[in-house]
Chains A and B, each alone.
Chain A
């Protein structure tokens, strides 16, 4: 239970960063978590296996849609939480990952193209939910926001005006996020640490993360 798919048809919006941040922060909290990398470039799984320095994360890389269709339910049944990273373009594996999600997170960075693609991604995920008769909650998460700038305020206002459901938490354009990719560790203090904690709290409050994610749900 608890499948969170990070998806967007647009590349470079921070899908992999958010996926590894979620996976690492949950693992540090003792959660029974698996990370499934459905992006052919394998950045998330490479990070988890080579760079990440925290408690072990069960990591799988599978970008083939048919094999993903088998692996996703299996991992979802085995682990309390499954985080899935997807490719930055519309592909079959990303669709499978979205169709199997209990929550789809769509990162958006300040850009006109991001907003357009976010609309398309949200519509697609909602459509998948309708077609599979399994509603899939989808939330936009603003990323690389520069606080107190006109641009960021405008983008957040646009997200709301377009009716895109978004998380209250937004990630700043903080260097600490980029450092995670090289250090393999999460920030302990500062804005980034506060935002990561706020993300987990918001997901827990909405019951998208199990209250007790330490116990595995064995199939």
Chain B
């Protein structure tokens, strides 16, 4: 018995942890943990509100086709092809603009 009449902490019942079975930890495994196991948890970061605008440019059909071909070949979006090129030119490209942020259903 503990001295000074300290009370004991109650042992918590062992609750099953609902997370999907996964292969050994690699990027994909960790991504799944992030995407599925932590849905009930708050995000680690609160991103600042980012104002976005639409840029609509008219180009020749040949360039549009070339852009689409390059994006398909690299497995990225057409927007990423453009933003990466702008980034390479030294323009201040927001890191989020360099990512594929299209809805999953479109991928």
Please determine whether A87 and B9 come into contact, CB atoms closer than 8 angstroms.
Answer: no
Identify B44's interface contact among A92, A126, A157, A163, CB under 8 A: A92
Given A70-B27, A127-B17: A95 and B37 interface contact (C-beta under 8 Å): yes
Given A68-B30, A131-B37: A99 and B42 interface contact (C-beta under 8 Å): no
| Bound-state Cα–Cα, A151 to B21, Å | 41
Please determine whether B41 and A90 come into contact, CB atoms closer than 8 angstroms.
Answer: yes
Q: A218 contacts the other chain (Cβ, under 8 Å)?
A: no
Chain B residues, CB < 8 A from A154: 2-4, 6
Shortest Cβ distance from residue A123 to the other chain B in the assembled complex, whole angstroms: 7
Shortest Cβ distance from residue A173 to the other chain B in the assembled complex, whole angstroms: 18
Range for the number of chain B residues in contact with chain A? 35 or more
What sequence of 0s and 1s flags, for each residue 23-40 of chain B, a beta carbon within 8 Å of any chain A beta carbon?
111110111011101100
Interface of B is mostly: loop
Shortest Cβ distance from residue A129 to the other chain B in the assembled complex, whole angstroms: 9
Identify B8's interface contact among A99, A119, A134, A158, CB under 8 A: A158
Please determine whether B44 and A63 come into contact, CB atoms closer than 8 angstroms.
Answer: yes
Q: B45 contacts the other chain (Cβ, under 8 Å)?
A: yes
The contact sample of 19 A-B pairs, CB cut-off 8 A, is A40-B46, A65-B38, A69-B27, A70-B27, A90-B38, A92-B44, A96-B33, A119-B9, A123-B14, A123-B15, A128-B17, A131-B22, A134-B24, A150-B6, A154-B2, A154-B3, A158-B8, A158-B9, A162-B11
Please determine whether A66 and B45 come into contact, CB atoms closer than 8 angstroms.
Answer: no
Q: Which residue of A lies closest to B14 (CB)?
A: A123
Q: A73 contacts the other chain (Cβ, under 8 Å)?
A: yes
Total cross-chain contacts (CB, 8 A):
125
| Bound-state Cα–Cα, A176 to B49, Å | 41
Please determine whether B25 and A73 come into contact, CB atoms closer than 8 angstroms.
Answer: yes
Chain A residues, CB < 8 A from B11: 119, 162-163
Q: A94 contacts the other chain (Cβ, under 8 Å)?
A: yes
Chain A residues, CB < 8 A from B90: none
| Bound-state Cα–Cα, A69 to B26, Å | 8
| Bound-state Cα–Cα, A119 to B11, Å | 8
| Bound-state Cα–Cα, A93 to B43, Å | 8
Shortest Cβ distance from residue A122 to the other chain B in the assembled complex, whole angstroms: 10
Identify B25's interface contact among A87, A92, A134, CB under 8 A: A134
